[in-house]
Structure 1
């Protein structure tokens, strides 16, 4: 199962996903590549793979990215081989990408589950961005302008979780993952195998005495 989570910058997505990964088993996180510089406390290979614009462009030309986009003046991309290898191993994978990347991925892999994290209001988002203390006012203003466009695209997603309370939003994400896992695990092939056991069992029922044989003319 592939899960895509998007949100405006400052929407609390990173905090939610960190807690989600600690709560849910067999859920891998795809680390994106980016050309933006690390923020204080961010480590290469843990939060992002930080690469130069030239290296990013070279990787993109070689088709190494499943999706890539220019976001807030920097490039971000999802590595194709990592996604494919993780899904081939039967592990569920979650992607933290912006709405542009989610749109691109929806065209490539429409079966992916898409979740949008909605901030409760413009004012709350503004407060969260300022509380970071890592961006200057011009960058914050640009992120807020972009957020105005991003929140309008919530209808492109299967689920919308309003992050007005962190614990409540986390539980909503856990429930979504659980429900989607049931939908994905019960594939048509698996269900056909279950149905086949009923046919085998019916043919073994005694015709006379014991259990009654099946008669579908009765409608039950």
Structure 2
């Protein structure tokens, strides 16, 4: 089994992914910042990291690898939202989103890459969003950051495939996390009405795809985009 680093593992998709990976016997290091890890992750190693800070990322990866060995699977799960209409959006709000949701993936990948290249083996799993393709009013910053992950991951897949390092992207749709419930009941009902399955997804349904991509069964999947959205973005 592999040493897996899961960022943002305190809640939602990150938590569900960490639990799924533990079930498979992986050695999981869960990262957190602000929100402490829940009791369910008592069997995980853990590190606190500010993913907007290069020094914090470097320190966290060094600590994780000193405890559990080289990171063999990275699950990059950043999901900050700061919604507002474009006409009201300032530079700070846009740049904060890129730093948290996109630049952090670049920095995390760079940090774990040396050990993966030495081992000639690795899995890079990026949590994007279907919004990166469909767009969403008030989310130009979020959509741009999540769309950027796709180009980044596919370029990584082409660069590193010859070293047996894969890079894939998961595109969650409307998932029952705090980000969605904070939108309010009326917005939730509106979203549900647009989903062909007629409901929002569960974090565990995204975690199941993370679990698969980290498994031996996914060894020939590279540069893929996998939507977990109930059909919301079908045809994209």
| Normalised TM-score (structure 2) | 0.39
Question: Which has more radius of gyration?
Answer: 1
Per chain length, whose mean CA-contact separation is higher, i.e. which structure has more relative contact order (CA < 8 Å, sep 6+)? 1
| Normalised TM-score (structure 1) | 0.41
